[in-house]
Amino acid sequence: MIRTVLALAAALILVPVSAHAAPQDRYADNAGVRLHYVVDGQGPLVVLLHGFPDYWATWAPLMADLNAAGYRTAALDLRGYNLSDRPEGEAAYAMPNLIADVAAVIAAEGQKDAVVVGHDWGAAIAWQVAMNRPDLVNRLVIMSVPHPAGFAREMAMNRAQQQNSQYARNFQQPGFEKTLTAEGLAAWVKDPEQKASYIEAFRRSDFGAMLNYYRANYPRGTGDQAAPPPSMATDARVKAPTLVIHGMKDTALNAAGHAGTWDHVDADTTIVMLPNAGHFVQHDAGPQVNRAVTDWLGAHR
């Protein structure tokens, strides 16, 4: 009997009962489009949406911190990227479909709502989910992208933002995807090991699909002609508490676009400006971003 107890005690020391399970690949379905996402942790659901050019692993460090803080994270490969389906045609990437993708992941996780976190196109989608489906969003975390009303204002009036958006007008041109390569899209990734994973993910992706986000949803033209497509809400109210994080060295989206964000949110609004970070703020200032998100969520839990 004593030997049995000792053996059991040794086993418990060698294999802790609370050992953390590895992240899991899962899939959700939206009208026949299969969406890959990765889940980890237990607790309230946090859905994370990447941008261009990126994939779910951009969130791995933040996921680890959120899991440790008692959240369940679900990081999505947006349609067209990596292991998610790549439907053909510009219309497949119109904003209503992207909003429905987020709804499908929340439903696949058996939840009615979630904390929604987004960067770049993921942030643009997150704003639209919060405005069009407020029932799905209990807290909103935005990185880099201004509120749609602020962005529309800057595109109409701010010459610097108009110039900085030239890349997007290039992306809207037919056939521009033929100029892209996986290696080129991964050029922004600094860590060699991460870069290899990004190149692999981009080789599984569809470059035309990536650019269809711009063709279907980004304003065309300049000045007062730079109106967003009708499917992009700009004046609906955001009901959820909102955290905005912006790298002030961002050369794609000007910090000025965030001015007045609080005028469009009916809840607590927090804006964090990081002076030494660029567009990929979650990489350039990872520890600060992760701490800001976990602390803010803790204060609004």
Residue pLDDT, tens place only, 229-239: 777 777 789 99
Q: What is the homologous superfamily of the domain 24-299 according to CATH? A: Alpha/Beta hydrolase fold, catalytic domain (3.40.50.1820)
| Helix-helix angle 121-132:95-108, to 10 degrees | 80
Exposed (0-12), middle (13-18) or buried (19+): which is 115, by Cβ within 10 Å?
buried
With beta carbons less than 8 A apart as the criterion, state whether 48 and 117 touch: yes
Tokens, residue 191: 């860590």
Please tell me which of 14-23, 41-50, 160-169 the model is most confident about, judged by mean pLDDT.
41-50
Please provide residue 129's backbone torsions phi and psi, each rounded to the nearest 5 degrees: -60, -45
The secondary structure of the chain in percent helix, strand, coil, rounded to multiples of 5, reads: 45, 15, 35
**Binning pLDDT at 50, 70 and 90, where does residue 20 land?**
low
Indicate whether 139 pLDDT > 90.
yes
Q: Where are the alpha helices (DSSP H) in 109-242?
A: 121-132, 148-157, 159-164, 166-171, 182-185, 192-203, 207-217
With beta carbons less than 8 A apart as the criterion, state whether 236 and 132 touch: yes
CA distance 183 to 107: 35
Helix or strand run (H / E) with residue 66: helix 60-68
Q: What is the pLDDT of residue 223?
A: 59
With beta carbons less than 8 A apart as the criterion, state whether 57 and 205 touch: no
* Kind of pairing between the strands at 242-247 and 269-274: parallel
With beta carbons less than 8 A apart as the criterion, state whether 211 and 92 touch: no
The amino acid that residue 33 corresponds to is V
Indicate whether 213 pLDDT > 60.
yes
The amino acid that residue 161 corresponds to is Q
CA 139 to chain centre: 14
Indicate whether 251 pLDDT > 80.
yes
Q: What is the pLDDT of residue 222?
A: 64
**Binning pLDDT at 50, 70 and 90, where does residue 143 land?**
very high
**Binning pLDDT at 50, 70 and 90, where does residue 220 land?**
confident
CA 159 to chain centre: 27
Q: What is the rounded radius of gyration, in angstroms, for the C-alpha atoms of the chain?
A: 20
Exposure on the CB side of residue 280, measured as CA atoms within 13 A: 15
Indicate whether 120 pLDDT > 90.
yes
Q: What is the pLDDT of residue 236?
A: 86
Q: Please compute the mean of the pLDDT values over residues 6-22 and round it to a whole number.
A: 45
With beta carbons less than 8 A apart as the criterion, state whether 117 and 126 touch: yes
The amino acid that residue 162 corresponds to is Q
Q: What is the pLDDT of residue 227?
A: 67
Please tell me which of 5-14, 42-51, 151-160 the model is most confident about, judged by mean pLDDT.
42-51
Indicate whether 112 pLDDT > 80.
yes
With beta carbons less than 8 A apart as the criterion, state whether 90 and 20 touch: no
Q: What is the pLDDT of residue 235?
A: 79
Smallest Cα–Cα separation from 45: which of 108, 96, 119, 97?
A: 108
**pLDDT cut 70: percent of the chain above it:** 90
Q: What is the dihedral of CA 201, 203, 207, 210, to 10 degrees?
A: -10
